[in-house]
Structure 1
């Protein structure tokens, strides 16, 4: 089986290869069709869907294509009750989409609250990857542990988080229950 991943980011390719471990997984660089820093679940999900569709169209011999998009979204903290929520309501979110050219499935990954200082920079128009590089004093954190790894002290890496999103989206192509 051949799988096309709509990104040149090695973390997204590796997350897909974990889910489809017996497949040949190739990176196909495509545009997401959304802003560099997607805001909201709808824009983030749209980016994943666009990447999957474009990767399938570009990779002539692929059996499936996967699109993965990370973004930030407001999460209502009203249900915290009398407890003070940590961080403002902005969280890191991730979505994946899988298509065989006829059908499409979407699945979400973990949602992680963002620290106030990072959320403020994103609301001011910055992109998460460069903000994390600045905060961590590193380069290309999005191609390494990612914000997920930083926010969980390495317990959940970016690859792990994206793998969960890909697995959720891939369910209908992996399971006989659909």
Structure 2
């Protein structure tokens, strides 16, 4: 089985491999550069989830894959709590079925949220705040905001695992 991941980000590739490792005869996972069809900084659950779905579908259009996986990070206001939250969505499709899963939501510090609300992208803001480059390809905001308890790869792997539900169980039929 071949699975294409709609990104060349090594963290997204590793997260997908991690989620799929529990499957017998774990599939080959390959990065595929595709467009998300959403803004560089998705805002809201709907736009973030749509980016993941678009990436998953675009993978299948880009090559001969059994499954397309898309992962998207964004920011969202949530009804249950004040503040701006980091959110993560994953989608997996075989062209007919579509599975969706989400990772944890993490409240952004006010100083970070203010800059993101003003139009800056979360990744570069976190790079600036932390004084390091390419946080998104390392621990991610999730790792920085939890002191490493949950890093970006593990958070995204949980989202992918949730999206795999329709493909690993018959509970969705």
TM over 0.5: yes
Map Cα deviations across residues 118-145 of structure 1 (whole Å, 9 max, x no partner). 0000001000000000011111100000
Q: Is the 8 A contact 2:2 2:27 kept in 1?
A: yes
SS in 1 for 2:91: strand
Map Cα deviations across residues 124-170 of structure 1 (whole Å, 9 max, x no partner). 10000000000111111000000000000000000000001001111
Counterpart in 2 of 1:161?
155
Counterpart in 1 of 2:62?
58
SS in 1 for 2:164: helix
Classify 1:77/1:177 alpha carbon distance in 2 versus 1 (closer, same or farther; 3 Å). Answer: closer
Over the aligned positions, Cα root-mean-square deviation in angstroms equals 1.0
Map Cα deviations across residues 10-32 of structure 1 (whole Å, 9 max, x no partner). 00000000111211000000010
Deviation of 1:40 after TM superposition, in Å, equals: 0.2
Poorly superposed stretches of 4+, deviation over 6 Å: none
Deviation of 1:102 after TM superposition, in Å, equals: 1.1
Q: Which runs of 5+ in 1 are unaligned?
A: 79-87
- The correspondence of residues 99-114 of structure 1 with structure 2, limited to 5 A, is 99-114=93-108
Counterpart in 2 of 1:32?
36
Q: Distance in 1 between matches of 2:4 and 2:11?
A: 14
Q: Is the 8 A contact 1:66 1:99 kept in 2?
A: yes
Is 2:5 the counterpart of 1:5?
Answer: yes
Q: Distance in 1 between matches of 2:166 and 2:97?
A: 9
Is 2:11 the counterpart of 1:17?
Answer: no
Given the alignment, which residue of 123, 129, 144 partners 1:129?
Answer: 123
Deviation of 1:100 after TM superposition, in Å, equals: 0.4
* TM-score normalised according to structure 1 size: 0.92
Q: Distance in 1 between matches of 2:169 and 2:136?
A: 30
